[in-house]
Amino acid sequence: MNDQRTPLLSVRDLKTYFFQDEGTVKAVDGASFDVARGQTLGIVGESGCGKSVTARSILRIVEAPGRIVGGQILWYDAKGQPTDLTQLDPDGHQMRSLRGREIGLIFQEPMTSFSPVHTVGNQIIEAIRLHMGVSKAEARRRAIEALRQVGIPQPERRIDDYAFQLSGGLRQRAMIAVALSCDPRLLIADEPTTALDVTTQAQILDLLRELQQQRGMAIMLITHNLGVVAEMCDDVVVMYLGRVVEVGSVDAIFHQAKHPYTRALLRSIPAITTPPRVKLHTITGSIPHPYNRPSGCPFHPRCPERLRGLCEVAEPALRAVGNGQSVSCFLYENRA
């Protein structure tokens, strides 16, 4: 039971800022959420809301001039002992033995995620040899096995192909094979299907779910596609401008969304029952410029339900509203 309750990863008030000449971009500004063991957590939000930077912060591969300036990233090992990843040396042995071994990463663009001058196999074998300490021949055998598991036909031959020789779908499968080659406990999938056509998207999502069931790994799925979230996730984190505005189970988010931003996001999905030639619902205004964040609640300039005199001055905190659901909005302050 205890094993079920302790999370695998717990992000607490994470702040990752980019220090540029023009000013500081607060890409992630106080995000908190948990990833449960063996479950799928969806992280949704518009472009530039800090989803990807959160993922890179967890792996400690945020590039300069970006830096984690605050908060904790607690990683719970198999015995349930937490390690704060923000305290580790990003290039040190401990962090590197997590990267690729315990936490796998797949990216949006499978073409450019592979080196153009190394074979797919070279990059899988590299990861296996690095973390598993096996011989070259054994690593190659495991790499072929990994390619077979993600449904790549003729893996013995494909292993010596370059990424540009594979089709988009096979490339993303190969990417998954690299990420899962060392049997990680957490897979971070950053927009894994965005660059693929709809049929291939569905296949890749099916594959991820299947592999998750076989291995019992947790998935952190970063996407702006709410359809994918509904299909894949157990829990959902909604981010806006580097902050978590709402957290809840997938049912709660889709059926009882609390935050005006989440509700606006859901309204903007076209349904199959939507009559044709009707203007799609959009969120008014646009995402503020990163150097020019609004005061108070970051969403207040676009919010249809803002409370004058409150939302533009004070920042709401994330608070529980029951049922495992939390929201950061003054509309719910009194009731909580």
Of the pair 93, 277, the CB lying nearest another protein is at 93
Read off φ and ψ for residue 194, nearest 5 degrees. Answer: -60, -35
Kindly state whether residue 132 participates in binding another protein, applying the rule CB under 8 A: no
Kindly state whether residue 165 participates in binding another protein, applying the rule CB under 8 A: yes
Residue whose C-alpha is closest to residue 220's, from 22, 58, 84, 60: 58
From 92-100, 199-207, 219-227, 275-283, give the range in contact with another protein by CB under 8 A. Answer: 92-100
DSSP per position, 191-236: STTTTS-HHHHHHHHHHHHHHHHHHT-EEEEEES-HHHHHHH-SEE
Q: With contacts defined by CB under 8 A, how many residues of the chain interact with another protein?
A: 36
From 110-118, 198-206, 222-230, 302-310, give the range in contact with another protein by CB under 8 A. Answer: 110-118
Kindly state whether residue 22 participates in binding another protein, applying the rule CB under 8 A: no
Residue 96 tokens read as: 């590197």
Q: How far is the CB of 97 from another protein (least distance, A)?
A: 7
Kindly state whether residue 258 participates in binding another protein, applying the rule CB under 8 A: no
Which of 6, 36, 61, 256 is in the footprint of another protein by CB under 8 A? 61
Handedness of CA 202, 32, 14, 35 (dihedral sign): negative
| Kind plus residue range of the DSSP H or E element containing 54 | helix 51-59
Q: How far is the CB of 235 from another protein (least distance, A)?
A: 23
Which of 91, 273, 309, 334 is in the footprint of another protein by CB under 8 A? 91
> CA 86, CA 328: separation in Å to the nearest integer?
25
CB 266 within 8 Å of CB 227: no
Footprint on this chain of another protein (rule: CB under 8 A): 56, 59, 61, 63, 91, 96-101, 103-105, 107-109, 112-119, 123, 126-127, 130-131, 162, 164-165, 175, 178-179
